Amino acid sequence: MTTITRLFDFPHHQLKKFNLDKALVTKYNGKWVATSTKEYVDKANQISRGLLRLGVQPNDKIAIISSNNRTEWNITDIGVLQIGAQDVPIYPTISQEDYQYVLNHSEATYCFVSDDEVYQKVKNINANVPSLKGVYSFNDIDGCKSWNEVLELGKDDSNQEEVEKIMASIQEDDLATLIYTSGTTGRPKGVMLSHKNIVSDALNSSTRFPIVDGDTKSLSFLPVCHIYERMLIYLYQYRGVTIYFAESLETISDNLKEIQPHVMTAVPRLLEKVYDKIIAKGTDLTGVKKKLFFWAVELGLEYKPYGANGWWYEKKLDVARKLIFSKWQEALGGNLKLIASGSAALQPRLARIFNAAGIGVMEGYGLTETSPVISVNEKENNGFKIGTVGRLIPNTEVKIAEDGEILVKGPQVMLGYYKDEEKTNEVLKDGYFHTGDIGEIDSDGFLRITDRKKEMFKTSGGKYVAPQLIENTMKQSRFIEQIMVIGEGEKMPAAFIQPNFEFLKEWAERKNLQIGNSNEEIISHQIVIDRYQKEMDLHNQKFGKWERVKRFELTPEEWSIDAGHLTPTMKLRRKIIKEKYKELYSKIYG
């Protein structure tokens, strides 16, 4: 069996071991189109040969910008890596200026785009990127070369020997990819990940995946330009999993029903939305059905793994699963056994309710700089503890610094930041990567994240406040879509809140309240403000006096990636939000 040491070994391994008819599956014009492992490898070789004929050299940088996950992305990825070049995946939603910055900083020579929207952004800045020789598109776009031209160039296999020669010369410690972190502050940093970084992370994380090799379906929709989804795609290839690419975030519930996957990844924000939708449906029920529904929910919220609640609880849970939770499973396709959650903190209540419902939501932890997984929960081996991010994956060492910071050592730790020795030296010290997260490891070896070191602040009274902890608690309210806790150097914590307008309107309708039509009217209505005060009072009880949110302001617009409130992985851009609402800030603190 092939030993896997470089990223392009994954599809070759899959060809030898599983040779799937359906390796990668994408929907085009309403039809699912499957690419077999053989076709995947053949086309990747074609791309390699085509790129060589375009003059691509080892260590050249090739950008890939795609609005959705799709088969072409993976074929291009392997085609680029096989000839010793590095790919630079770019978030499609970042600004044109950031495109320009990343393309120039990486000195990308070619760029593959998915569609017209992305192409227009690249076209607008093309003249300001002197290194860029050509742009190719996966979709057919007027005025843009098609990626089929590169495939066509590689049809003649007379230079396959050259591809094989370069492949043989590539070492596991060689640079494979540059991933520019979306960064909650400042310019994106180019994280240099080697083949070994990502390969080791995929192989070590794989030990936590209870799936049937060669007979499992996954649904992929988190952006593959993000290392989390990308690493999992290599892991899926290693285990012979068929990968279906979701069309978009909007179609995800349809895609789940069509594909009926066994496994997928998610960010907490998605799970929150799924949960809210389910609860909204339950609220619409009447009589006995409604009573039963909420009995099951209450029961689910008390869930503890491994039968820790005792036999009587388990008996009731069996009934709840048959009557209520089976319908939840059906809504998610009916086969979903595992959802790997990452990128932000998962509220423990979501881990409880989904696992009670028989849908294994397992939270993990990592950063782009660690390729990404450091630790992850698993169903087997007593490896699941709610409120933690699981035990460390194999070959990974974590040390907790004196100030509580999590320091990591292992084969998945990045080579450094591209062209930035100073920032590299700030985080890579004494053989450890400094994560900037605060945490602890309990006696059973489970890692718990308590906060972001960079995001903690002190009030003017000298008390430390951990905003994420408070935000995650407050976000359990169905009235709150997003919240940001502020108060650095001020006498008390306060918050900006983006209401869940959809739920708020439903609530007003149920109560026969007139709260206005526009978001501006709604947030200035006293009834609404009083209702939010009630939510604050309820959740504030869980915190020390100095941590309680004493004042808040509601914002009329919905926080989004496009408007700059959120990073592409849905984290708050704190500096930008504070700047956007500086008038509200002054209103709170005078």
**Residue 429: band (very low, low, confident or very high) from pLDDT cuts 50, 70, 90:** very high
Tell me, yes or no, whether 446 and 569 share the same domain: no
Tell me, yes or no, whether 437 and 553 share the same domain: no
Number of structural domains (the chain) is 3
Please name which of 102, 84, 56 lies closest in space to residue 166, comparing C-alpha atoms.
84
CA 76-81-85 angle, to 5 degrees, is 105
Domain stop point among 403, 424, 452: 452
Tens of pLDDT, residue by residue over 187-233, are 889 999 999 999 999 999 999 998 999 999 999 999 999 999 999 99
d(CA 184, CA 571): 7
Beta-bridge partner residues of 441: 447
Answer whether residue 92 is part of any domain. Answer: yes
Exposed, middle or buried: residue 507 (CB in 10 Å: 0-12, 13-18, 19+)? middle
Domain stop point among 154, 170, 186: 170
Answer whether residue 150 is part of any domain. Answer: yes
Contacts of 272 (CB under 8 A, 6+ apart): 347, 350, 475
Element (H, E) at 25: strand 24-28
CA 454-459-460 angle, to 5 degrees, is 130
Please name which of 128, 112, 127, 11 lies closest in space to residue 67, comparing C-alpha atoms.
112
Tell me, yes or no, whether 66 and 39 share the same domain: yes
pLDDT value at position 462?
A: 76
**Residue 571: band (very low, low, confident or very high) from pLDDT cuts 50, 70, 90:** confident
**Residue 403: band (very low, low, confident or very high) from pLDDT cuts 50, 70, 90:** confident
Answer whether residue 312 is part of any domain. Answer: yes
Answer whether residue 161 is part of any domain. Answer: yes
Tell me, yes or no, whether 325 and 432 share the same domain: yes
Beta-bridge partner residues of 180: 190
Q: Do β-strands 428-429 and 432-441 pair in parallel, antiparallel, or remain unpaired?
A: antiparallel
Whole-number mean pLDDT of the chain? 94
- Identify the three-state secondary structure at position 84: coil
Answer whether residue 491 is part of any domain. Answer: yes
Least confident piece of the model among 14-23, 444-453, 554-563: 444-453
Beta-bridge partner residues of 152: none
Q: What are phi and psi of 507, to 5 degrees?
A: -60, -45
The domain in which residue 478 lies consists of 457-589
Tell me, yes or no, whether 351 and 414 share the same domain: yes
pLDDT value at position 94?
A: 82
pLDDT value at position 60?
A: 98
Tell me, yes or no, whether 546 and 403 share the same domain: no
Q: What is the DSSP string of 190-216?
A: EEEEEHHHHHHHHHHHHTT----TTSE
Tell me, yes or no, whether 488 and 547 share the same domain: yes
Answer whether residue 366 is part of any domain. Answer: yes
pLDDT value at position 97?
A: 86
Answer whether residue 141 is part of any domain. Answer: yes
Tell me, yes or no, whether 56 and 164 share the same domain: yes
Q: CATH no. for residue 280? A: 3.40.50.12780
Tell me, yes or no, whether 390 and 351 share the same domain: yes
Q: How far is CA 115 from the centre of its chain?
A: 22
Tell me, yes or no, whether 158 and 132 share the same domain: yes
CA-based radius of gyration for the chain: 25
pLDDT of 1 > 60? The answer is: no
Least confident piece of the model among 180-184, 257-261, 274-278, 466-470: 180-184
pTM of the predicted model, to two decimals?
0.87
Tell me, yes or no, whether 421 and 353 share the same domain: yes
Beta strand residue intervals within 222-291, DSSP E = 241-245, 263-266
Q: Residues 195, 174: contact at Cβ < 8 Å?
A: yes
Number of Cα atoms under 13 Å in the Cβ half of residue 531: 23
Residue 406 has what DSSP assignment?
Answer: E
Tell me, yes or no, whether 443 and 493 share the same domain: no
Q: CATH no. for residue 475? A: 3.30.300.30
Q: Do β-strands 405-409 and 432-441 pair in parallel, antiparallel, or remain unpaired?
A: antiparallel
**Residue 175: band (very low, low, confident or very high) from pLDDT cuts 50, 70, 90:** very high
Tens of pLDDT, residue by residue over 91-113, are 998 888 889 999 999 999 999 99
Report the share of the chain in percent with pLDDT over 70.
99
Contacts 24+ apart (CB under 8 A), 540-544: 542/473, 543/470, 543/473
pLDDT value at position 575?
A: 87
Please name which of 413, 415, 437, 435 lies closest in space to residue 424, comparing C-alpha atoms.
415
Please name which of 482, 377, 388 lies closest in space to residue 439, comparing C-alpha atoms.
388
**Residue 185: band (very low, low, confident or very high) from pLDDT cuts 50, 70, 90:** low
pLDDT value at position 182?
A: 63
Determine how many CB atoms are found less than 10 A away from the CB of residue 499: 24
Domain stop point among 170, 185, 204: 170
Answer whether residue 436 is part of any domain. Answer: yes
